[in-house]
Structure 1
Amino acid sequence: MANLAIPTVDFSPFFIDDDDQDGKNNAKEIIKQACSDYGFFQVVNHGIPRDLIKRALKLSQTFFAFPDEEKLKYSPGSAAPLPAGYNKQPEHSADKNEYLLMFPPQSTFNVLPTNPPEFREVLEELFTYFARTGEVIERILNDCLGLPPNFLKEYNNDRSWDFMAALRYFPATETENNGISEHEDGNCITFVIQDEVGGLEVRKDGDWIPVIPAQGTIVVNISDVIQVLSNNKFKSATHRVVRSKERSRHSFAFFYNLQGDKWVEPLPQFSEEIGEAPKYRGFLYKDYQTLRMRNKTHPPSKPEDVIHISHYAIST
């Protein structure tokens, strides 16, 4: 394996010392390079209280340790329009995990646990912090791409489509160690908090690079929407989770999302204005998400038939 590590960025100039312009510029340079090379970076001093992260992980461990009959009280039910609440991957699935999915705290879709006590409150607080951090990172990406001020914020101005998942990955067996199969995320930006078990890996130049857990750190990855808008200037990286044989892995993933009716295509700043051909044809975001969901509900028999963002790529 290549001797590589995911870059780590200190966000304190954006949250603690707003006058530290040199610190901000240094952070932006690291992020810009990381988004071009990896599509992944880690952030410290990001504004999410470390104690809140610890409490969220501990309560998540407690919840997922409950018997199935207790967890199933918080399943979405057949009438739910979205799978908010407790879900478990079917036995035949290639991925081996269970998860609790939530939308913004004010959403009526949520089916959140009242047991253990305080879990719902902590989930809602963590969600709110993630959304705030997402707005900061979106603004930084906007600057890194050289876009007009607030361009991405105005383009992606509906936060009701964001969602968060608390996840538990089961211990590996002798024949299976897959937690989540290799994939790219289809949204805009994803944030991950992982416990000390780790297992998250990013692929670069054919090698799998482990993202080493560190207390108080969140992982950020660029997703398909940003890759398309930037016409491949920024990378939506392939990643996976490899399960440990000894222990379950617990994590939180927050998906900074896009409203379904948004049109997605390479921005002119990265195509015709600089003499570059668009690398993707345009599409409605909800259409792409429908295709990705079909990957899960009706898995193709051949891996090459799985829909990725390359489905919209323009052949050259």
Structure 2
Amino acid sequence: METSAIPTVDLSPFFADGDEVGKKKVEEIIGQACAKYGFFQIVNHGVPLGLMNRAMELSKTFFAYPEEEKRKSLPHSDSPRPAGYCDVPGSVEDLKVTEKFFTELAKVGQLVEGILNDCLGLPAGFLKEYNNDRSWDVMLVFRYYPATEADTIGAYEHQDVNNITFVFQDDVGGLEVQKDGEWIRVTPIEGALVVNVGDMIQVLSNNKFKSGVHRVVSPEGTSRHSFAFFYHLEGEKWVEPLSHFTKEIGDKPKYRGFPYKEYYALRLGQKTNPPETPEDRIVITRYAGIA
């Protein structure tokens, strides 16, 4: 286990008028983190701590229900996402909390997307215009069971399919990031959001920013709870390395183009039909090279 830590970045300069020096410092740290880890944590990001904690309380309340009660929220067999729970019971106030949390995370997504845009040296507003449809964004809630003698991994190593992922984890921790073959534990910080770059940013930047490899180690003697907000592309969007990182600088594209929905469907299919071996997993290198 590597002893270093992924950077924690204070986004408060983006909520203050005229703090251009602070903004540049944030962009410098995030740019380095995305090139090195594909991961960083953010604080003072604009999402109220009370809202975050209330959402976490609701998650823990649901997962504490008896199994027969939770089974009532299982999706139908023809659901496009036939795993996990949906139509979770709760009051109107509970629903408002989760909807508000989703909305606030989408705002953070737009803020961080803009920061990544500037870190990459793209024209102002380029990524916002390219990715201007929020209908594919998804927020999921997870409960990881305690470790057993047979299995100590809650989620095996992987890279996220989307643009940017935001994770709010409880104080149990367990999220780890891979760097040069070593695993770095992401220490929980009150009110922080963990941010990782996904496969689409890696492709668009032609590997300038990396899609962070990560896993979840199951906790000992307790469950781990977390929220994950996946900031996606619209499914019909064509994805390929941007010219800013290829022909404009004399570099070759490291990926051939593809529609986002194609790759997304392939990755989603592995959720319910896992590959027999790790080598059979579909990852972004499927599109490596020129067609």
Judge same fold: TM > 0.5, yes or no: yes
Alpha carbons 1:32, 1:144 under 8 Å: kept: yes
Displacement of 1:79:
4.2
Instruction: Point out 4+ residue stretches in structure 1 off by more than 4 angstroms.
Output: none
Q: 1:221 maps to what in 2?
A: 196
TM-score by length of 2: 0.96
Q: Deviations over 1:173-192 (max 9, x none)?
A: 11111111100000000000
Q: Deviations over 1:56-94 (max 9, x none)?
A: 1111111100012222222222343445xxx44xxxxxx
The runs of 5 or more residues in structure 1 that have no matched partner are: 89-99, 101-110
Q: Per the alignment, do residues 163 and 12 of structure 1 end up closer, same or farther by CA in structure 2, a change over 3 Å counting?
A: same
| Alignment pair present for 1:80 and 2:104 | no
Greater Cα offset, 159-168 or 301-310: 301-310
The one-letter code sitting in structure 2 at the alignment partner of 1:305 is D
TM-score by length of 1: 0.88
2:248 alignment partner, SS class = helix
Indicate which of 228, 246, 250 corresponds to 1:275.
250
Q: Quote the Cα distance in structure 1 between the aligned partners of 2:227 and 2:244.
A: 34
Displacement of 1:20:
1.0
The one-letter code sitting in structure 1 at the alignment partner of 2:231 is Y
Displacement of 1:4:
1.1
Indicate which of 146, 149, 166 corresponds to 1:171.
146
Q: Quote the Cα distance in structure 1 between the aligned partners of 2:115 and 2:93.
A: 33
Q: Quote the Cα distance in structure 1 between the aligned partners of 2:102 and 2:108.
A: 10
The 5 Å alignment of 1:1-316 reads: 1-15=1-15, 17-83=16-82, 87-88=83-84, 100=85, 111-115=86-90, 118-314=93-289
Greater Cα offset, 281-290 or 223-232: 281-290
Q: Quote the Cα distance in structure 1 between the aligned partners of 2:35 and 2:80.
A: 37
Q: 1:96 maps to what in 2?
A: none
Q: Quote the Cα distance in structure 2 between the aligned partners of 1:70 and 1:218.
A: 30
Q: Deviations over 1:23-76 (max 9, x none)?
A: 111101000000000100000000000111111111111110001222222222
The one-letter code sitting in structure 1 at the alignment partner of 2:2 is A
Displacement of 1:221:
0.2
Alpha carbons 1:142, 1:149 under 8 Å: kept: yes
The one-letter code sitting in structure 2 at the alignment partner of 1:156 is N
2:52 alignment partner, SS class = helix
Q: Which has the higher contact order (CA 8 A, sep 6+)?
A: 2
The one-letter code sitting in structure 1 at the alignment partner of 2:41 is Q
Alpha carbons 1:9, 1:31 under 8 Å: kept: yes
Displacement of 1:13:
1.0
Aligned-residue sequence identity (percent) comes to: 59
Q: Quote the Cα distance in structure 1 between the aligned partners of 2:218 and 2:159.
A: 18
Q: Deviations over 1:135-158 (max 9, x none)?
A: 000111111111111111111111
Q: Deviations over 1:107-165 (max 9, x none)?
A: xxxx4333367332211110000000100001111111111111111111110100001
1:203 alignment partner, SS class = strand
Aligned residues: 290
Q: Deviations over 1:161-210 (max 9, x none)?
A: 00001110011111111111100000000000000100000000000000
Q: Quote the Cα distance in structure 1 between the aligned partners of 2:272 and 2:64.
A: 27
